[in-house]
Chain A
Amino acid sequence: MRHIIIADDSETARMVVRRCLEIAGCHDVEFSEAPNGEEALEILKGKTADLLVTDLNMPKMDGVNLLKRIKSSPRMHDIPVIVITSVANPKKIEELHELKAYKVLRKPISPAAVAEAIEPLLKPQEK
């Protein structure tokens, strides 16, 4: 079963992301939720993830620092990170891609935008 972590300080935003992922085809998935980057890393200590979806603006540890920590870790750097943020303009998207974000989506998100972003990740897992 795939494991997806959703990090956002807003419970509403986490619910919307999860619902969009489900509509986009993420079935038979274990979802974990974290209100900030620190707790997302705590979850990752116990179990790796097939995808991490994160907001940028969060207390304690924001999305940029979470992304940097994941991409600098030999154990975690392969985890695709999708950033969903309200501050995504072309300059910010460029900055996040330089930090190796897999995709950057602008709030408000739609199931269609999420489906397009995760489509390559939903291919059957090779054993």
Chain B
Amino acid sequence: MNSNNDHLQQIIFESVSETFEAMLFTSVYQIPSPDSESNEMDMFVIQIDSLSPIEGRLTLEVPSDLGFEITKDIYSWQEDSPPSESMVKDTLAELINTIAGKLLGKAIPEDQSFELGLPETGNDVPEPGDTVVITHFEVNNHIFSLMVEGDLTNHRPPA
């Protein structure tokens, strides 16, 4: 791993960690890549594009159980029935939007503005592209991942 990649990994961890602490008052831990694929088949997949000045895409893959747990926490959910799937997708979209904003804010010099696309949600796990950095995290005994693709992976620390 080179120093550029070290810095990218560092700001990915900071962005995810700060977002979870601020929105959910909980800590996340970066973990090594799991030995095997998750047995939790149901996943929420949320993507957001970085449009400028760096082109790239962030993909958050969250097990279904964790998605519902996060949504209940944010909404202080009191009802017996679970939140709807659309509420979970909306919550996770807001989560990745915040993570992406933090990540780009750390990657780009302060005298440049940056633009993000609108988050898109689904359930199908995409095939990673050629230039990709995948980081795994653990929170409340669940594992989730953030995939960063495109020119973001060639990021150099601001001078």
Which residues from chain A sit less than 8 Å from chain B, CB to CB?
A: 9-13, 15-16, 57-59, 85-92, 95, 106-108, 110
Contacts and interface: CB of A to CB of B under 8 A. Distances in A.
B14 interface: no
Interface string B70-106: 0100110000000000010011011001101110110
Interface residues of B, number: 28
A89 B102 contact: no
Contacts of A86: 97-98, 100-102, 116
Contacts of B22: 108, 110
Which 7 A-B pairs have CB atoms at the shortest separation, nearest pair first?
A86-B101, A108-B22, A92-B113, A91-B113, A90-B110, A12-B91, A10-B94
B105 A89 contact: yes
A9 B116 CA distance: 14
B110 A89 contact: yes
A12 B94 contact: yes
A62 to B, nearest CB: 10
Nearest to B105: A89
Interface string B123-140: 000000000000000000
